[in-house]
Amino acid sequence: MLEWLHGLSGERVMETIWKPLLRAKFDGGFEKVPATYIWSRLVRTTSSHDKGSRELMCFLEGGYMQLIQALAADIIKRGGTINLGATVEHVRAQHGRINGLTVDGQTLNGDGVVITTQTPVAQRLLPREFAGQHERWGRLNEYLGIVCVTVALRRRLSPYYTLNITDSRIPFTGVIETTNLIDPQYSGGYHLVYLPKYVGAGSSYARMSDDELIGRFRAQLLQMFPDLREGDIAAVRIGRERYVEPLHPVGCTDDVPPIVSEVPGLFLANAAQIYPQLTNGESVVAHAGHAAQAIVAALRPAGQGHSLPALVPAPAAD
């Protein structure tokens, strides 16, 4: 990718734009990123512009919660059950076949499981007897994590939705002011600014205490925007996640974990299977539809309709 970008842009643009942006996005390790990544970003940028080159963006009033609640209501209407706050401990198996889950110490019987967590989490849920499947999923299971400081301001910070950062002294990847798209009436009158930092497995930022992280990010923000005052900051929150951005090094396309596994009744559907498109809400929803079709097709005996059997709580004696 670097060679290709260098040929397109020349040395100066490479050093001042591309390398700093890639360094920020991949926490330094961008040498193995394929050219298709840049291609996907260019496709996304051009596809969000109208014929007059105006960028078009939209938002859901009330945020993603509106969509989640509508989906949940429809799942329940169709006879589904949703267990919030439940931790799946492991997938259960007997004689080489799936026979349910253990959820918060409770056994759920069933002969089909679709895991939708990130791949390393899915690997941890597998019983020991599926070592082959564990190895197959392990061929491509690296992710970047993220720490994201969210700041609620009493005033607007800048006129921009996104400021990409190329200055390596600044710890965050960008300044995303979502209230330049979303009317602040939907965020209690506050202006919302996200300061994300993508972090590799060994990053010191991933291990930093909340106080130190907030201190560093806040100081940098005040330095970047000298007219911003401490009193303008109404609240600061931190979000952390170890597995966010699935990495697809060049030459590893064949290692993408398949939806239909080698174990009868076991399926995996996650964002690491989305390639070369970028992962976001839109591509995740499209992938979920594709995964559902693949799973139904795998379960259907030749010429017959068949749906995934529901998981049912096991009798107490089990």
Ligand X SMILES: Cc1cc2nc3c(=O)[nH]c(=O)nc-3n(C[C@H](O)[C@H](O)[C@H](O)COP(=O)(O)OP(=O)(O)OC[C@H]3O[C@@H](n4cnc5c(N)ncnc54)[C@H](O)[C@@H]3O)c2cc1C
Region of 127-135, 220-228, 277-285, 296-304 interacting with ligand X (CB under 6 A): 277-285
Judged by CB, which is closer to ligand X: 118, or 220? 118
As a whole number of angstroms, the distance between CA 215 and CA 211 comes to 6
Residues 246-265 as x/- pattern, contact with ligand X by CB under 6 A: --------------------
Among 2, 38, 284, 292, interactor with ligand X by CB under 6 A:
284
Among 45, 69, 168, 280, interactor with ligand X by CB under 6 A:
280
Judged by CB, which is closer to ligand X: 13, or 75? 75
Judged by CB, which is closer to ligand X: 8, or 286? 286
- Is 199 a binding residue for ligand X by CB under 6 A? The answer is no
Main-chain dihedrals φ then ψ at residue 82, nearest 5 degrees: -120, 125
Proportion of the chain in helix, strand, coil states, percent, rounded to 5: 40, 20, 40
As a whole number of angstroms, the distance between CA 266 and CA 234 comes to 47
Residue among 157, 96, 144, 83 at smallest CA distance from 118: 144
Region of 66-74, 116-124, 133-141, 185-193 interacting with ligand X (CB under 6 A): 116-124
- Count of positions on this chain that bind ligand X (CB under 6 A): 16
CB of 192 to ligand X, least distance (A): 11
Give SS3 for 128: helix
Among 182, 213, 271, 291, interactor with ligand X by CB under 6 A:
271
**Largest separation between any pair of C-alpha atoms in the chain:** 70
- Is 117 a binding residue for ligand X by CB under 6 A? The answer is yes
Region of 44-52, 126-134, 255-263, 278-286 interacting with ligand X (CB under 6 A): 278-286
How many other C-beta atoms lie within 10 A of the C-beta of residue 54?
Answer: 8
Q: ∠23-29-30 over CA atoms, to 5°? A: 70
Q: Which 51-70 positions form the footprint of ligand X (CB under 6 A)?
A: none
Helices (H), the chain: 2-9, 11-13, 19-25, 35-47, 64-77, 119-125, 131-138, 204-207, 210-224, 281-299
In the block, residue with structure tokens 């992938």 = 287
- Is 279 a binding residue for ligand X by CB under 6 A? The answer is yes
Contact positions vs ligand X (CB under 6 A): 87-88, 116-117, 121, 146, 148, 196, 244, 270-271, 279-282, 284
